[in-house]
Amino acid sequence: MPYGTVQADAGLTKPITTLTLRKMKEEGVKFATVALYDAPMAAMAQKCGVEVLLIGDSLGMTVLGYDSTIPVTMEQMIYHVEAVKRGNNKSLIMGDLPFMTYATPEQAMVNATRIMQAGAQMVKIEGGEWLAPTVQMLSDRGVPVCAHLGLTPQSVNKLGGFRVQGRSDAQAEQILADAKALDDAGADLLVLECVPSALAKRITESVSMPTIGIGAGTDTDAQVLVINDILGLTEQPPKFSKNFLIEAGDIPGAMRKYVNDVKTGVFPSKEHIFV
């Protein structure tokens, strides 16, 4: 069965790696990413064909009740990475480094070591070209890196809230330049959050690494949603999210529908993107 093909109740047949994802980008096959935090959901995601699991510092807001991701600690991230790893051995597992745990390349190396020893196979960090030396250092030492541009939640106080990024020409050019710099430094994936769809398309076409969109239109190589949004558990869901449980009727069905809708281009639709 080719990469990206989904059948009813067909789980992943072999482990997903960074090479798998690059091959999918080259072949134009979209992949699905879900942010989740525990072993049962991780096991279900594997059975439903989710290629990438993100243990995001979003857990601060979705699980722990904080009003932002900033209070999340390394200890909390490690706890949830370990749980997800126990439930899944085929999806690629990616863990966020939380706020101020990668301010220098050396600090990033120490904390990347901790989260990978807990079970992550890739680390995710937020920021632009200033992170290129950190990405280079991690990559040279065998640590896969997912970069994150656009709306970067750890910078919410600097950005003035949860706002779409890249609408002005200057902002768009800066985000594009950041993406190219991080790609050149050796990043393996790039999350684009809350940027205009046209900008996400330009970036996706300009970098060798696969891009994962969330509120970034239909032209990224993949999509990511938080499990709470997929299951309709968010009291005030963001524009880019969708409740798949309403249509599917049960939790496994909701996850399978999300995967299929991503791969077939049904999701995201016009109401979920920014222009």
Query: What are the tens digits of pLDDT across the range 161-219?
Result: 667 888 899 999 999 999 999 999 999 999 999 999 999 999 999 999 999 999 999 99
Instruction: Please provide the DSSP assignment of the chain as one string.
Output: --TT---TT---SS---HHHHHHHHHHT--EEEEE--SHHHHHHHHHTT--EEEE-TTHHHHTS--SSSTT--HHHHHHHHHHHHHH-SSSEEEEE--TTS-SSHHHHHHHHHHHHHTT-SEEEEE-SGGGHHHHHHHHHTT--EEEEEES-GGGHHHHTSS-----SHHHHHHHHHHHHHHHHHT-SEEEEES--HHHHHHHHHH-SS-EEEESS-S-SSEEEEEHHHHTT--SS--TT----HHHHSSHHHHHHHHHHHHHHT-SS-GGG---
Q: Write out pLDDT tens, residues 78-135.
A: 999 999 999 999 999 999 999 999 999 999 999 999 999 999 999 999 999 999 999 9
* pLDDT at position 159 over 80: no
- Spell out the domain ranges in the chain: 18-272
18-272 topology per CATH = TIM Barrel (3.20.20)
Active site residues: 193
pLDDT, greater one: 236 or 129: 129
CB atoms within 10 A of CB 5: 11
pLDDT tens-place string over residues 40-56: 999 999 999 999 999 99
pTM for the structure as a whole: 0.93
pLDDT in the model for residue 3? 36
The rounded mean pLDDT for the chain is 93
Predicted confidence band of residue 4 (pLDDT cuts 50, 70, 90): very low
